[in-house]
Amino acid sequence: MADLEDVRRLALALPEVTTDDEQLMFSVTVKGKAKGFAWPWNERVEPKKPKVRNLDVYAVRVANGSEKEMLLASDPAKFFTEDHYNGFPAVLVRIAALDVDELGELLTDAWRCMAPKTLVKEFDEHLDT
Among 68, 99, 102, which residue's Cα sits nearest to residue 85? 68
Q: Which residues of the chain have pLDDT under 50?
A: none
Q: In 55-99, which ranges are continuous DSSP H helix?
A: 65-74
Q: What is 4-128's CATH number, 3.20.20.10, 1.10.3720.10, 3.90.1150.30, 3.40.50.720? A: 3.90.1150.30
Predicted confidence at residue 21, as pLDDT, reads 74
Predicted confidence at residue 4, as pLDDT, reads 94
Q: Where are the beta strands (DSSP E) in the chain?
A: 17-20, 25-30, 33-43, 52-61, 79-80, 90-94
Rounded distance, CA 114 to CA 77, Å? 26
Predicted confidence at residue 103, as pLDDT, reads 98
